[in-house]
């Protein structure tokens, strides 16, 4: 299995807030050791490796994870806690999961 | 992975050209286990449309956060009686609410922000409910939240709430309608509506977090008005991706 993490650099040159948060959590949990490759999606450069990967898989969120298993179709994960549970087989806290869902989906405010 | 996963990107292009009724009809024909999320506000239009298309297949749920207006509870009951349908009212986990209130009080959202409270009172029960269905229908519209980059597709693959190794399809039939169009539908079809709308409320949520809005104010200004408007920055700009 190969796992690629794609992080976003915004137009102003800074790392996107969520990418920063996710990376921090992953470092604290020792999960970065399980990532095989980290690519940058630089919004200032559509040809950057991360932007090309996002375009290839039609991903519109960052960060995201590309999981490649031999003989299987590649999987894209844009929800961090689901990636942790389903790919890394590690536990997550429900309150963190719910907050991530709300943060990623501001449209849910109007339910 | 589900074998019969829909290609929601292509379908969104097709369905975007169709009316909310046509989109609901497609959703009800495509899925047997599908539910409408009803907030107790103008999204009642969805129930009316679905009921007229196929009353046998109308499955509705409402999220009772425990902090709704009395008028909203009365309205949910009115809709249940008017259409003669069951409404599954779902509640937050008592232990999670108890912990938050014990540690932070009943109005922590005024000091922090609304997200912790909303995630416990709304998102938690929503997730539990959505684990039991294959598709859901919401009244979300693009014009509800101007200024964000969030686009509301008519149909989407809902990865956030899908069961592990399964898919969940979300329909937003009103995505391309304006508030005015929804209200034109409600008025012209004599659809019952929440009494709060006659008191100046446009967007209706929990009682402590909702207020009436004045002329010219956007409906978003009636919700969480003490919070600074922030823009989400996690999206990869499609313009750049498509270059």
Q: 3-state secondary structure string, chain B?
A: CCCCCCCHHHHHHHHCCCCHHHHHHHHHHHCCCEEEECCCCCCHHHHHHHHHHCHHHCCEEEECCCCECHHHHHHHHHHHHHHCCCEEEECCCHHHHHHHHHHHCCCHHHHCCHHHHHHHHHHHHHHHHHCCCCEEECCCCHHHCCCCCCCCCCEEECCCCCCCCCCCEEECCCCCCCHHHHHHHHHHCCCCCCHHHHHCCCCCCEHHHECCCCCCCCHHHHECCCCCCCCCCCECCHHHHHC
Nearest to A51 among B39, B164, B241 (CB): B241
Chain B nearest-CA residue for A14: B233
Per-residue pLDDT tens for B121-146? 999 999 999 999 999 999 999 888 76
- What's the rounded mean pLDDT across residues B226-234? 53
Q: With CA atoms as reference, report the closest residue to B222 among B239, B199, B240.
A: B199
ipTM of the complex: 0.80
Per-residue pLDDT at B33: 97
Between B62 and A102, name the one with better pLDDT.
B62
Hey, is the C-beta of A46 within 8 angstroms of any chain B C-beta? yes
Per-residue pLDDT at B182: 96
Per-residue pLDDT at A107: 84
Per-residue pLDDT at B210: 92
Percent residues over pLDDT 90 in chain A: 72
Put simply, the answer to whether A107 touches B115 (Cβ < 8 Å) is: no
Q: Is B234 a catalytic residue?
A: yes
- What's the rounded mean pLDDT across residues B13-37? 95
Chain B nearest-CA residue for A6: B236
Hey, is the C-beta of A25 within 8 angstroms of any chain B C-beta? no
Per-residue pLDDT at B215: 82
Chain B nearest-CA residue for A46: B240
Is the pLDDT at B72 greater than 90, yes or no? yes
Hey, is the C-beta of A87 within 8 angstroms of any chain B C-beta? no
Per-residue pLDDT tens for A12-53? 999 998 999 999 999 999 999 999 999 999 999 999 999 999
């Amino acid at each position: 299995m190969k796992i690629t993490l794609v992080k976003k650099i915004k137009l102003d040159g800074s790392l996107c807030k969520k990418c920063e948060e996710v990376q921090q959590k992953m470092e604290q949990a020792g999960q970065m050791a399980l990532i095989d490759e980290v690519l940058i999606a630089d919004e200032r450069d559509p040809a950057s490796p991360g932007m090309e990967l996002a375009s290839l898989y039609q991903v519109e969120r960052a960060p995201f994870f590309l999981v490649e298993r031999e003989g299987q179709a590649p999987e894209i994960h844009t929800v961090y806690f689901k990636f942790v549970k389903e790919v890394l087989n590690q536990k997550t806290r429900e309150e963190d999961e719910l907050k991530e869902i709300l943060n990623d989906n501001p449209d849910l405010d109007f339910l | 992975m589900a074998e019969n996963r829909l290609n929601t990107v292509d379908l969104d292009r097709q369905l975007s050209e169709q009316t909310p009724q046509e989109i609901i009809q497609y959703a009800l024909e495509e899925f047997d286990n599908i539910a409408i999320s009803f907030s107790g506000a103008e999204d009642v239009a969805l129930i009316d449309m679905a009921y007229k298309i196929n009353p046998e297949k109308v499955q509705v749920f409402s999220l009772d956060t425990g902090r709704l207006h009395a008028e909203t509870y009365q309205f949910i009951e009115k809709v249940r009686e008017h259409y003669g349908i069951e409404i599954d009212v779902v509640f937050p986990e008592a232990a999670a609410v108890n912990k938050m209130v014990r540690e932070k009080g009943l109005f922590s959202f005024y000091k922090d922000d609304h997200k912790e409270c909303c995630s416990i009172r709304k998102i938690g029960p929503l997730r539990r409910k959505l684990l039991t269905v294959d598709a859901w229908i919401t009244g979300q519209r693009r014009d509800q939240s101007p200024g964000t980059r969030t686009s509301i597709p008519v149909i989407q693959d809902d990865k956030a709430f899908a069961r592990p190794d399964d898919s969940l399809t979300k329909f937003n039939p009103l995505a391309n309608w304006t508030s005015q169009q929804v209200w034109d539908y409600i008025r012209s079809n004599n659809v019952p509506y929440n009494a709060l709308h006659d008191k100046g409320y446009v967007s209706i949520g929990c009682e402590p977090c909702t207020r009436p809005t004045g002329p010219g104010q956007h409906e978003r200004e009636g919700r969480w008005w003490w919070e600074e408007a922030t823009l989400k920055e996690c999206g990869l700009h499609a313009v750049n991706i498509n270059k």
